[in-house]
Amino acid sequence: MTTVQRKAFGRMPPEEGGGEVEKFVLQSDSVRVEILSFGCIITTLETKDRHGQFSDVVLGFDTLEGYTRKHPFFGAVVGRVANRIANGRFTLDGKEYQLFLNNGPNSLHGGAKGFDKVLWSAQVLPNGVRFFRLSPDGEEGYPGDLKVWVTYTLSGRELAINYQAQTSKTTPISLTNHAYFNLAGQGSRDVYDHEISIEADSFLPVDDTQIPTGEVAAVQGTGFDLRQPVELGKHLQKFHLDGFDHNFCLHQGQDRRLVARVFHPPTGRTMEVHTTQPGIQFYTGNNLDGSLKGKGAATYPKHSAFCLETQSWPDAINKPHFPNVLLHPGEEYNHTTWLVFNTA
């Protein structure tokens, strides 16, 4: 049984329209998750360790103010296009589109005011919540009126996130959730003792601005071979890596498949990621620097969390040989990601 509660969480600043932000609490016997109508943000995700003790395993803030100020997309749904678009530029049907540059020379996670920074309308479901918004034609430079639905449902140990969209004009789209996890509990110093595996035979090498070079490289014999579980800290040392911020190329197909697994031996917590998406961005919080005050006055230093963002491949709009990211009128964008929490 999942219970769903709806609560007030705060009001947007007057300059942002002053709308009311609600919090939705989804609870089963093994997982409790809190989600905001602002940015569809997961603010809390509590799951049991092997002794049955609950801990909150996602980074975030105690108040709305934390989320309305600048932060690294904690827990949010990002779009229209997750990840990076080179030079914030693409051409579609002979017309060039220029997006806002918010990540060096590139556009990241939807631009200046992406889906993470807006209020969504909400509808309570028997075991979850569905958010909706209309992204108007030209918003952040993207073409077409885009209707978007993001649905969170909780059943037992499994949190499902479904993304659906329809457009009035052809547009690129790639939606994901940008939760930062630490299975030891948020506020823990690092994720070096986590064991991770990713079911991917290839990954995308990037240039010095984190844009894929276009090569689809085999993981075999490299530090990117995570097909067998590795202990993160030792693995980064062994391969002299500063951390991960790369797209791993998943086996293509529309069916649900297991794509990543994380195990935290001290607590016994495990997290599996299943998805229908073609890629997953593995990010180890390389840009966290301890400057943000998080929940319970925790600070979040470098490598104190990991993200596993299921997505289309970065800059695919400019790389014709990457899986297609275009949504056409009359079609439906429909992807689901499942997070399964357990103990071992």
Q: Which residues are catalytic?
A: 178, 309
Cβ neighbour number for residue 267 with a 10 Å cutoff: 22
Token readout for 46 is 């509590």
Binding-site residue set: 83-84, 178-180, 245
Token readout for 301 is 């230093």
3 state SS of 147? strand
Calculate the alpha carbon distances from 230 to 252, 260, 263, 268 in Å: 24, 12, 10, 16
Q: Please tell me the distance from the alpha carbon of residue 192 to that of residue 180, in angstroms, as a whole number.
A: 14
CB 179 within 8 Å of CB 306: no
Q: Which residue has the tokens 């990601």?
A: 337
Q: Which long-range contacts (CB under 8 A, 24 or more apart) does 237-243 make?
A: 242/286, 243/283, 243/284, 243/285, 243/286, 243/302, 243/303
Closest among 211, 218, 235 to 86, alpha carbons compared: 211
Q: Which residue has the tokens 């002053």?
A: 18
CB 167 within 8 Å of CB 144: yes
Helix (H) or strand (E) holding 317: none
Binding-site residue set for beta-D-galactose: 83-84, 178-180, 245
C-alpha count within 13 angstroms, C-beta hemisphere, residue 179: 25
